[in-house]
Amino acid sequence: MENVNKVEHESQNSLLNYFAILENASQCSATPLPSQIGETQEEEEDSSSESEEEMFKSRTHTVVLESAGDWGAHRFKDQPFATRKKEVRIRNYGDLRLTKEEQQGVLSQRMIACCVSNLERVPELNCYAYCKLALEGKGLTDITSIKKYHFIQYLNLSFNKLTTLQPLGDLPFLQYLYVNHNELEDLLDFKAPFYLTHVNFSYNQVKKMRDLKDFWSLVHLDLSFNEIEAIEGLESLKFLSYLDLSHNHIKVVENISNLRLQTLIIRANMIEQIEEGEGVGFPTLVYIRTINLTYNKIDSLRYFEACYNLETLIVAANKIASLMNIYYLRKLNSLRSLDIRENPVCCVAHCFSLCYRTLPHLHELNGDEVSLKKRVLSRFTQDIDYTLRARLDRMELLLLEHINPPVIGAHVVPCDFPPPPIIVVAGPLGSRKKDVVFKFVSRNRKAVLGVSHTTRPQNAEEIEGRHYYFVEDSKFDDLLKHGEFITVSDSYGFRYAISFRELRKSTTENKVLIFYSDLSAALMLKLMGLCPRIVLALPVSEEIHLQWIKQTYIYKFINRNLVLIKNCPTCVKEVAHYVSSEDSAVSSSTINSNGTASASGTPALSQDCLRSVSGEMGEGFICMAGHDDCFTMGDRNSSLNKHYFEDVSEKREVVHRTSEVSQCKTCCITYTDASTETAPYCDECIQCDTSNKLAAASARRDTNKSVAFCNSSASLTDHHHHHHHHEQPIEDPEHKSVSDSFLLQDKTSSGSTHLNHPPILSVLSKAQVHVDEDDTEKQETVYMTATETFEMLQQEHLKIFLDDVMENRTQMLELHMENTGLFRDVIFTNDVEDSLRRLKALLKCTVEHHLSSSVPFEIEKDRNFKEVIARKLKRINLMDNKYSCIP
Ligand SMILES: Nc1ncnc2c1ncn2[C@@H]1O[C@H](COP(=O)(O)OP(=O)(O)OP(=O)(O)O)[C@@H](O)[C@H]1O
């Protein structure tokens, strides 16, 4: 007991009581090791055993000596102060019976004695001292007694109840400080040690960061799980390389410029904004390798655009929505890992393939390895649909605009005249944009019409050189080969192009060029750097649009399906048979190529017939039997044909059924008056306004010995909206904007549209009906047969066509909704006056803008010109060329 008191007394008085005393360190011989400081109660209990002093001497001295290290040697270890060797203690903390005071959180020397380790030699004093003190989870509230442990370098006070760290001001050698999970409100509120490098201050209650200039030596600072609202006070921490501010209330990333940070973690805050500008923000963190901003509200990756050394970027669960953001990372050649999970951008189609393509150095995307296979596949994105293609184009345009100031670059087609001001009125087929544009040009002197080239045939009302330049396919190819065209695109089976020559129009006349085209041409102009102002033109509703298209294109469907019938028993029989069955579309009884009747399945013409029509006969004919000059499509003696000749009753029946029927030459309605010659029009049509107009078209068809089919227009209109044909006068019986090949292409293969009768369709739609004039009975059979069949086919074809146009319309509108600024304006062509007004406003703004910015184009002053030309010349060894000495 006396001994203990003496020790306590000495330990309080001597400043060196924390030294480990060695027997040969004579100047400190009176001072015990901290671990020697015994415990009173235990002492009493253990009084029978050997004295503590003896125990210490016998058990530990040599071991302690052996494990003593050099002062500060740990600094160079990966895990400083990691205790690998078994620590030698006289008392373990668990063996202590805590006094009341100790239980209330007051740190006592004997507690310290149980928790110190890492004995090291203090150079100046030629004695030994413990450098590590681990007091985690001891419920401490008062650590005043720590003051005496002057040489502590590593201090762990985590999981206690501390509210202040004042006593640590007396530990000048403190280097590692762990005070996480306490109740501290003040950040580092003690006199700064010489060289504090690591601080874990997480899970405390810090609201405000104070100026840490005295703690200049900090390298690693963890302030996560506090209540910090703003980043501040870090300016002087020039050695800070790790900063964790996760789970605080920070809104703006600021005041971190020019630090030597390598890792910055600010997870789960409320960050919406990151400081940017000259000399501030992320680009000034030239050593940064890892940034983690998971669970925040940032919506752009532009902040990281210039973090060239960045290796890992984690921005999961933010608000990054646009694919454009991926491009901001394209120059980060060190970026190996990117995590953009739980951002809206991940739902955008092709986001990942864009990452693979744009970020060639990426090894890991959203936690998954980026394999070579993924990269290769990303280059072959097949079947990109129209909307998506347009979106990608749009994105590319934006990107190009963003990264390329308007100078000569690889993507710009060389022109030796300044880019003209252009307005493109783009719209889906049949939107009557042409009408609006023509009216507009006639009323505005400042606008000049741009005329496109096309391979489509000229319509009756069209003028060469005004509506289009109508050229043959071969001529079009020729012009294309000679590089005359700036845009080329396909539309419904024909090709359209805008020529360079057309562009010059505006420069010579000093006017704004106005084109009408589809969207692809407009986008192409944009891509070429011509900056056209694109206007979307369409009728206000789908109903109107459908009505217009039907009015314009219905004859296309009527005229197209004319079939020449000549002396072929097989075909007539089959067609007749096909239509005479009750539900021909689904379960008609058909005759197969082997001549036997099949009771169900898809109706089909015989293989012979198909082959003849589509191949051998060239144009394609369906022939009737009974004449010597019959085209032999099948062998007349074949079982099929024999079957036909034998089965007269069936033939009669068909003839009989149709012989009472006649049809109006105008509206094609079938009526039961046999005298078609004398009365070519039905009663209705005779009075009808449109009859005269239509008579011409009808006559034209008749001269071809063709057949117009019964009730076609009426049934076609019924297809969508049950209007009577008279409500929709057929406007242009020969509108040619849609090619036959487009209409006839087998859309079933694309999977989008399904036809019920593909075989018949492919036969009949290629053929022409010609009637053997002598054989009226057969003639009528065929009329009727073909009439009904075609009606069905027309409906299907029309449906496909209408669906296609409507889809195109929807896509354009979607594009408009999703890409603000793609279209300068939208005009509804059914309101012509309003459309004209809007175009006029745009014209005015275009003229003004062009006047203000029309600096004469001096190619040689272009800042990239010299470099580009020089590089090209160098490649072809022509450095002596005159361009090489451009000033
Ligand atoms: N220069 C061009 N480049 C690409 N496509 C074009 C061009 N000019 C016209 N087109 C497209 O070709 C298709 C046929 O045009 P056309 O003028 O023959 O008929 P339309 O669309 O019915 O006319 P409107 O819209 O005036 O009713 C349209 O889809 C149109 O957008």
State which ligand 1 atom lies nearest to the alpha carbon of 452.
1
Residues 408-451: pLDDT tens digits?
544 555 555 667 889 999 999 989 999 999 999 999 988 999 99
Would you say residue 765 has pLDDT above 50?
A: no
Q: Ligand 1 mean position to 517 CA, how many Å?
A: 5
Q: Which residues does residue 597 pair with via DSSP β-bridges, in sequence order?
A: 591
Would you say residue 514 has pLDDT above 90?
A: yes
Q: How far apart are the first and last CA of the chain?
A: 98
The mean per-residue pLDDT over the stretch 22-34 comes to 35
Phi, psi angles (nearest 5°) of residue 481 = -65, -35
Q: Ligand 1 mean position to 560 CA, how many Å?
A: 21
Residue 193's nearest CA partner among 250, 282, 131 is 131
Atom 22 of ligand 1, residue of closest alpha carbon: 430
Residues 560, 704, single domain; the answer is yes
Atom 12 of ligand 1, residue of closest alpha carbon: 491
Q: Ligand 1 mean position to 516 CA, how many Å?
A: 7
Residues 293-328: pLDDT tens digits?
999 999 999 999 999 999 999 999 999 988 888 889
Angle at 874 between CA 869 and CA 875, to 5 degrees: 100
The mean per-residue pLDDT over the stretch 568-579 comes to 44
Would you say residue 195 has pLDDT above 80?
A: yes
β-strands 127-134, 19-20: how paired? antiparallel
Phi, psi angles (nearest 5°) of residue 825 = -160, 165
Cα 91 from Cα 523, distance rounded (Å): 82
State which ligand 1 atom lies nearest to the alpha carbon of 432.
27
At 86, the pLDDT band (50, 70, 90 cuts) reads low
Atom 2 of ligand 1, residue of closest alpha carbon: 517
Please tell me the predicted confidence (pLDDT) of residue 178: 95
At 769, the pLDDT band (50, 70, 90 cuts) reads very low
Atom 14 of ligand 1, residue of closest alpha carbon: 737
Residues 720, 850, single domain; the answer is no
Q: Ligand 1 mean position to 429 CA, how many Å?
A: 6
Q: Evaluate whether residue 714 is within a structural domain.
A: yes
The mean per-residue pLDDT over the stretch 139-158 comes to 92
Instruction: Pull the structure tokens for residue 316.
Output: 């999961």
Of all residues in the chain, the percent with pLDDT exceeding 70 is 56
ipTM for the predicted complex comes to: 0.97
For residues 705-715, b (16+ Cβ closer than 10 Å) or e, as one string? Answer: ebbbbbbbbbb
The mean per-residue pLDDT over the stretch 784-807 comes to 70
Please tell me the predicted confidence (pLDDT) of residue 608: 41
Residue from 432, 468, 517 whose mutation best tests the ligand 1 pocket (most atoms within 8 A of CB): 517
State which ligand 1 atom lies nearest to the alpha carbon of 459.
18
The mean per-residue pLDDT over the stretch 203-222 comes to 94
Pick 465 or 392 by higher pLDDT: 465
Q: Ligand 1 mean position to 818 CA, how many Å?
A: 24
Residues 629, 726, single domain; the answer is yes
Q: Ligand 1 mean position to 518 CA, how many Å?
A: 6
Q: Ligand 1 mean position to 490 CA, how many Å?
A: 10
Residues with CB under 6 A from ligand 1: 427, 429-434, 452, 489, 491, 496, 498, 517-518, 521, 737
Atom 8 of ligand 1, residue of closest alpha carbon: 517
Residues 465-504: pLDDT tens digits?
999 999 999 999 999 888 888 899 988 888 999 998 888 7
Q: Ligand 1 mean position to 549 CA, how many Å?
A: 13
Q: Ligand 1 mean position to 206 CA, how many Å?
A: 67
Residue from 422, 425, 434, 806 whose mutation best tests the ligand 1 pocket (most atoms within 8 A of CB): 434
Q: Measured between alpha carbons, how far is residue 468 from residues 171, 342, 423, 487 in Å?
A: 90, 51, 17, 15
At 678, the pLDDT band (50, 70, 90 cuts) reads very low
CA dihedral defined by 397, 399, 400, 402, rounded to 10 degrees?
Answer: 120
State which ligand 1 atom lies nearest to the alpha carbon of 428.
29
Give the residue from 131, 146, 165 where a domain finishes. 131
Q: Ligand 1 mean position to 512 CA, how many Å?
A: 20
- In sequence order, which residues have a C-beta less than 8 Å from that of residue 842 and are 6 or more positions away? 423, 533, 535, 824, 825
DSSP 242-267: EEE--SS---EE-S-TT---SEEE--
Question: Residue 856 carries which side chain, given as an amino acid letter?
Answer: P
Q: Measured between alpha carbons, how far is residue 689 from residues 685, 686, 695, 728 in Å?
A: 8, 8, 11, 12
Atom 31 of ligand 1, residue of closest alpha carbon: 518
Would you say residue 701 has pLDDT above 80?
A: no
Give the residue from 110, 131, 152 where a domain finishes. 131
At 97, the pLDDT band (50, 70, 90 cuts) reads confident
Residue 31's nearest CA partner among 168, 155, 129, 171 is 129
Instruction: Pull the structure tokens for residue 636.
Output: 């007349």
Please tell me the predicted confidence (pLDDT) of residue 293: 95
Atom 29 of ligand 1, residue of closest alpha carbon: 429
Cα 694 from Cα 667, distance rounded (Å): 8
State which ligand 1 atom lies nearest to the alpha carbon of 426.
31
Residue 233, Ramachandran bin (φ over 0: left; ψ between -120 and 50: alpha; else beta): left
At 507, the pLDDT band (50, 70, 90 cuts) reads low
Q: Evaluate whether residue 532 is within a structural domain.
A: yes
Would you say residue 153 has pLDDT above 80?
A: yes
Please tell me the predicted confidence (pLDDT) of residue 96: 84
Q: Ligand 1 mean position to 497 CA, how many Å?
A: 11
Q: Evaluate whether residue 758 is within a structural domain.
A: yes
At 119, the pLDDT band (50, 70, 90 cuts) reads confident
Atom 28 of ligand 1, residue of closest alpha carbon: 429
Contact 625, 567 (CB under 8 A): yes
Pick 35 or 845 by higher pLDDT: 845
Residues 479, 516, single domain; the answer is yes
Residues 450-461: pLDDT tens digits?
999 999 888 888
CATH number at residue 521: 3.30.63.10
Residue found by looking up tokens 């509200």 in the block? 297
Q: Ligand 1 mean position to 848 CA, how many Å?
A: 29
Residues 506, 625, single domain; the answer is no
Separation of CA 237 from chain center: 41
Instruction: Pull the structure tokens for residue 174.
Output: 């403190």
Of all residues in the chain, the percent with pLDDT exceeding 90 is 33
State which ligand 1 atom lies nearest to the alpha carbon of 515.
1
Give the domain range for residue 878. 859-887
Mean per-residue pLDDT of the chain: 69
Q: Ligand 1 mean position to 733 CA, how many Å?
A: 18
Q: Evaluate whether residue 679 is within a structural domain.
A: yes
Cα 822 from Cα 487, distance rounded (Å): 18
Instruction: Pull the structure tokens for residue 536.
Output: 């979307």
Q: Ligand 1 mean position to 840 CA, how many Å?
A: 22
Residues 652, 628, single domain; the answer is yes
Residue found by looking up tokens 């700064």 in the block? 192
Would you say residue 383 has pLDDT above 80?
A: no
Residue 180's nearest CA partner among 194, 197, 192, 198 is 198
The mean per-residue pLDDT over the stretch 693-718 comes to 32
Q: Which residues does residue 200 pair with via DSSP β-bridges, in sequence order?
A: 178, 222
Neighbours of 527 (CB within 10 A): 16
Pick 630 or 222 by higher pLDDT: 222
Would you say residue 551 has pLDDT above 90?
A: no
Q: Evaluate whether residue 822 is within a structural domain.
A: no
State which ligand 1 atom lies nearest to the alpha carbon of 434.
26
Atom 6 of ligand 1, residue of closest alpha carbon: 517
Q: Ligand 1 mean position to 432 CA, how many Å?
A: 9
Residue found by looking up tokens 């739609």 in the block? 765
At 17, the pLDDT band (50, 70, 90 cuts) reads very low
Instruction: Pull the structure tokens for residue 36.
Output: 């020697």
Would you say residue 517 has pLDDT above 80?
A: yes
Q: Ligand 1 mean position to 816 CA, how many Å?
A: 19
Is residue 411 exposed (0-12), middle (13-18) or buried (19+ Cβ within 10 Å)? Answer: exposed
Neighbours of 109 (CB within 10 A): 19
Residues 749, 616, single domain; the answer is yes
State which ligand 1 atom lies nearest to the alpha carbon of 552.
22
Residues 706, 564, single domain; the answer is yes
State which ligand 1 atom lies nearest to the alpha carbon of 537.
25
Q: Which residues does residue 109 pair with via DSSP β-bridges, in sequence order?
A: none
Please tell me the predicted confidence (pLDDT) of residue 92: 81
Q: Please say whether the dihedral angle defined by the alpha carbons of residues 295, 296, 298 and 304, taken in this order, is positive or negative.
A: negative
The mean per-residue pLDDT over the stretch 107-130 comes to 85
Q: Ligand 1 mean position to 793 CA, how many Å?
A: 26
Minimum mean pLDDT range among 273-287, 376-390, 543-557: 376-390
Atom 21 of ligand 1, residue of closest alpha carbon: 429
Please tell me the predicted confidence (pLDDT) of residue 677: 37
Pick 226 or 530 by higher pLDDT: 226
Residues 566, 638, single domain; the answer is yes
Contact 572, 625 (CB under 8 A): yes
Atom 7 of ligand 1, residue of closest alpha carbon: 517
Residue from 479, 491, 503 whose mutation best tests the ligand 1 pocket (most atoms within 8 A of CB): 491
Pick 660 or 737 by higher pLDDT: 737
Atom 18 of ligand 1, residue of closest alpha carbon: 737
- In sequence order, which residues have a C-beta less than 8 Å from that of residue 267 and are 6 or more positions away? 224, 246, 247, 292, 293, 294, 295, 296
The mean per-residue pLDDT over the stretch 559-580 comes to 41
At 862, the pLDDT band (50, 70, 90 cuts) reads low
Please tell me the predicted confidence (pLDDT) of residue 750: 39
How many domains are there within the chain? 4
Q: Evaluate whether residue 746 is within a structural domain.
A: yes
Residues 846, 865, single domain; the answer is no
State which ligand 1 atom lies nearest to the alpha carbon of 487.
3
Q: Ligand 1 mean position to 535 CA, how many Å?
A: 14
Residues 608, 535, single domain; the answer is no
DSSP 852-876: HH-----GGG-TTHHHHHHHHHHHT
Would you say residue 279 has pLDDT above 80?
A: yes
Atom 16 of ligand 1, residue of closest alpha carbon: 737
Q: Ligand 1 mean position to 453 CA, how many Å?
A: 11
Residue 801's nearest CA partner among 712, 741, 760 is 741
Cα 471 from Cα 458, distance rounded (Å): 9
Q: Ligand 1 mean position to 488 CA, how many Å?
A: 13
Q: Ligand 1 mean position to 413 CA, how many Å?
A: 24
Please tell me the predicted confidence (pLDDT) of residue 193: 93
Cα 704 from Cα 358, distance rounded (Å): 60
Please tell me the predicted confidence (pLDDT) of residue 758: 30
The mean per-residue pLDDT over the stretch 672-688 comes to 37
Neighbours of 813 (CB within 10 A): 14
Mean pLDDT: which of 485-494, 645-654, 766-775, 787-796 is highest? 485-494
Q: Ligand 1 mean position to 481 CA, how many Å?
A: 23
Give the residue from 111, 131, 151 where a domain finishes. 131
Angle at 122 between CA 121 and CA 126, to 5 degrees: 85
Please tell me the predicted confidence (pLDDT) of residue 550: 77
The mean per-residue pLDDT over the stretch 231-246 comes to 94
Phi, psi angles (nearest 5°) of residue 11 = -65, -30
Atom 10 of ligand 1, residue of closest alpha carbon: 517
Residue 177's nearest CA partner among 121, 220, 210 is 220
Q: Evaluate whether residue 225 is within a structural domain.
A: no
CA dihedral defined by 444, 448, 453, 458, rounded to 10 degrees?
Answer: 40
- In sequence order, which residues have a C-beta less than 8 Å from that of residue 688 and are 6 or more positions away? 666, 667, 726
Residues 555, 498, single domain; the answer is no
Atom 9 of ligand 1, residue of closest alpha carbon: 517
The mean per-residue pLDDT over the stretch 860-868 comes to 64
Q: Evaluate whether residue 399 is within a structural domain.
A: no
